[in-house]
């Protein structure tokens, strides 16, 4: 299936105007709702998560009490006009840029990032000191304040519930870009907004302004910006229309990182080749994904079988060294969780990577704005969005994320090249399996 068609069909399946997926299985139809049902759930409870106001108070308290932490407001959300916070901590040579909750219904990363910030900023443990001596962090713990606090009548009782949603809340108007982009939606709840992990652009702000620099001939179907760049055509590029995305872009350019990490949620899926008539199949509770370039083209699940361009299988702007570090960072997390010896932690699977040219990793990792080396990247995905199952499984999701974060930071502090880890661990890890419907 051509990815253009894939984006359209999956968007319709998920009830969005048109939204593509960050990555996929070799059989891309597996993204469509189907397979075993987990059970209907209309009871959504988000009380364990920080509101925007509570998050601000926590960050300001840490900043006030710690001389290690620097807190800065780097922007405001499009709809609520709530602050977007950036935290800097650490004095090491290896620089890490970490963002969480770019999708408002994916809250676990924010909660774990807040705990990590507090630990690094206020703990005198050997682990914290080792990390801070060797790493410098720029952390945006909540990219999407609008989506994080979104209310709508989820259960049809006439009252709006706090359930969160993927997009920010922002209207598109004539003149903001040549056409309204595919990742703009009014669902759910009826309010317009952008899937902001589709809104990034590989050209730095000094070279691309959607009001003046997108051209009629770049657009296909009047919704996809297929932008030419360095001899390639980057299908479905973002337009940097959201102020939140512009703030993250500037943060990334200023940080000039060596590693970029982004935390997400995904739907429910089974671990492949588990279960039989006597034993239910195991669920995969987290998937990880590395961004990589043409040196690993033959390892891509989408090439050459799809006969699509290289830019739809790998990121050609990531060199061998960067690609290898990206893959090893993912291998590190897979190893660290497997060594816990618990069935919760040994269910880690892999996303089948292909570039999404409006995403944080693929648009920013080439790091062209600073004329520097490309950036190694990793994406986490824990199972289930909060507007799907609320805070169910909260402790399990947080523990998986916390272990992944801290083990990564420890290993990077020991050796930023990750020489002790193998790319084969990543490619030997199975792609996640059949989807589980939660409602």
Share of the chain above pLDDT 90, in %: 70
pLDDT in tens, 293-351: 999 999 998 777 656 789 989 999 999 999 999 999 999 999 999 888 766 788 899 98
Q: How far is CA 99 from the centre of its chain?
A: 8
What DSSP line would sit under 192-252, residue for residue?
A: -EE-GGG---SS-TTT--TTTS--GGGEETTTEEEEEETTEEEEEE----SHHHHHHHHHH
Closest CA to 326 of 203, 408, 236: 408
pLDDT at 128 over 70: yes
pLDDT in tens, 241-299: 999 999 999 999 999 999 999 999 998 999 999 888 888 889 999 999 999 999 999 99
Of residues 23 and 180, more confidence is placed in 180
Crossing angle of helices 108-122 and 126-134, in 10° steps, is 100
Closest CA to 362 of 208, 266, 229, 217: 229
Report, as an integer, the average pLDDT of 169-188: 95
Query: What are the domain boundaries of the chain?
Result: 34-156+250-436
Helix/strand/coil for 58: helix
pLDDT in tens, 44-53: 788 899 999 9
Distance separating alpha carbons of residues 389 and 141, to the nearest angstrom: 21
Q: What is the pLDDT of residue 220?
A: 95
Closest CA to 253 of 358, 360, 405, 341: 360
Distance separating alpha carbons of residues 151 and 3, to the nearest angstrom: 32
pLDDT in tens, 111-127: 999 999 999 999 999 99
- Count the Cβ atoms, other than its own, within 10 Å of residue 2: 12
Q: Class assignment of domain 34-156+250-436? A: alpha beta
Q: What is the pLDDT of residue 156?
A: 84
Q: What is the pLDDT of residue 20?
A: 30
Of residues 344 and 395, more confidence is placed in 395
What confidence category does residue 5 fall into, taking pLDDT thresholds of 50, 70 and 90? very low
Report, as an integer, the average pLDDT of 417-430: 97
Q: What is the pLDDT of residue 19?
A: 31
CB under 8 Å to 344, separation ≥6 — which residues?
Answer: 285, 396, 399, 400
Upper half-sphere CA count for residue 65 (Cβ side, 13 Å): 13
Cross-strand partners of 135:
94
Q: Which segment of 2-6, 24-28, 267-271, 300-304 scores lowest on mean pLDDT?
A: 24-28
Closest CA to 182 of 124, 236, 232, 101: 236
The average confidence (pLDDT) of the chain is: 88
pLDDT in tens, 352-373: 898 999 999 999 998 766 666 8
Q: What is the pLDDT of residue 42?
A: 54
Q: How far is CA 307 from the centre of its chain?
A: 27
Contact criterion met (CB below 8 Å) for 384 and 295: no
Closest CA to 30 of 345, 343, 430: 430
What confidence category does residue 8 fall into, taking pLDDT thresholds of 50, 70 and 90? very low
- Per the rule left: phi > 0, alpha: psi between -120 and 50, beta: everything else, 217 is alpha
Cβ-count burial of 259 within 10 angstroms (0-12 exposed, 13-18 middle, 19+ buried)?
A: buried
pTM: 0.91
User: Cα 189–103–356 angle (5° rounding)?
Assistant: 115
Report, as an integer, the average pLDDT of 154-170: 91
What confidence category does residue 77 fall into, taking pLDDT thresholds of 50, 70 and 90? very high
| Count of residues making up the chain | 439
Report, as an integer, the average pLDDT of 393-405: 89
Upper half-sphere CA count for residue 425 (Cβ side, 13 Å): 21
User: Cα 18–215–302 angle (5° rounding)?
Assistant: 50
pLDDT at 30 over 60: no
Element containing residue 145 per DSSP (H, E): helix 145-148
User: Mapped to the 3 state alphabet, what secondary structure does 307-337 carry?
Assistant: CCCHHHCCCCCCCHHHHHHHHHHHHHHHHHH
Report, as an integer, the average pLDDT of 421-427: 97
What confidence category does residue 18 fall into, taking pLDDT thresholds of 50, 70 and 90? very low
What confidence category does residue 179 fall into, taking pLDDT thresholds of 50, 70 and 90? very high
Closest CA to 15 of 352, 265, 387: 387
Cβ-count burial of 366 within 10 angstroms (0-12 exposed, 13-18 middle, 19+ buried)?
A: buried
User: Cα 196–63–74 angle (5° rounding)?
Assistant: 30
């Amino acid at each position: 299936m051509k990815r253009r068609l894939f984006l359209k069909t999956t968007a319709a399946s998920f009830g969005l105007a048109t939204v593509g997926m960050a990555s996929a299985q070799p059989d891309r139809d597996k993204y469509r709702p189907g397979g075993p049902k987990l059970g209907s759930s209309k009871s959504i409870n988000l009380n364990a998560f920080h509101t925007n106001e509570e998050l601000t108070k926590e960050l300001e308290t840490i900043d006030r009490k710690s001389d290690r932490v620097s807190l800065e407001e780097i922007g405001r959300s499009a709809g609520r006009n709530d602050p977007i916070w950036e935290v800097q901590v650490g004095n090491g040579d290896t620089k890490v840029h970490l963002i969480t909750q770019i999708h408002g219904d994916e809250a676990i990363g924010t909660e774990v990032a807040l705990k990590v910030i507090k630990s690094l900023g206020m703990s005198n443990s050997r682990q914290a000191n080792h990390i801070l001596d060797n790493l410098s962090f720029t952390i945006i713990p909540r990219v999407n304040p609008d989506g994080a606090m979104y209310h709508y009548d989820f259960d049809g009782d006439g009252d709006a519930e706090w359930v969160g949603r993927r997009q920010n809340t922002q209207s598109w108007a004539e003149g903001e870009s040549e056409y309204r982009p595919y990742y703009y939606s009014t669902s759910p709840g009826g309010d317009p907004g952008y899937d902001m992990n589709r809104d990034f652009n590989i050209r730095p702000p000094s070279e691309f302004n959607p009001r003046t620099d997108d051209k009629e001939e770049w657009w296909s179907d009047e919704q996809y910006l297929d932008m030419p760049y360095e001899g390639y055509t980057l299908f479905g590029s973002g337009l940097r229309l959201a102020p939140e995305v512009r703030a993250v872009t500037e943060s990334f350019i200023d940080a000039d990182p060596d590693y970029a990490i982004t935390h997400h949620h995904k739907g429910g899926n089974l671990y492949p080749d588990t279960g039989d008539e006597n034993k239910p199949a195991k669920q995969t509770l987290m998937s990880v994904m590395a961004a990589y370039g043409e040196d690993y083209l033959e390892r891509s699940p989408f090439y050459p079988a799809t006969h699509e361009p290289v830019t739809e299988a790998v990121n050609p702007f990531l060199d061998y060294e960067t690609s290898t570090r990206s893959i090893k960072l993912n291998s590190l997390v897979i190893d660290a969780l497997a060594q816990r010896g618990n069935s919760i932690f040994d269910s880690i699977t892999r996303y089948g990577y292909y570039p999404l040219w409006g995403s944080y990793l693929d648009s920013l990792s080439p790091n062209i704005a600073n004329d520097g080396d490309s950036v190694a990247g990793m994406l986490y995905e824990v199972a289930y969005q909060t507007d799907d199952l609320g805070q169910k499984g909260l402790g399990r999701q947080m523990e998986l994320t916390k272990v992944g974060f801290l083990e990564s930071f420890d290993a990077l502090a020991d050796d930023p090249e990750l020489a002790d880890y193998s790319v084969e661990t990543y490619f030997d890890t199975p792609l996640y399996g059949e989807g589980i419907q939660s409602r």
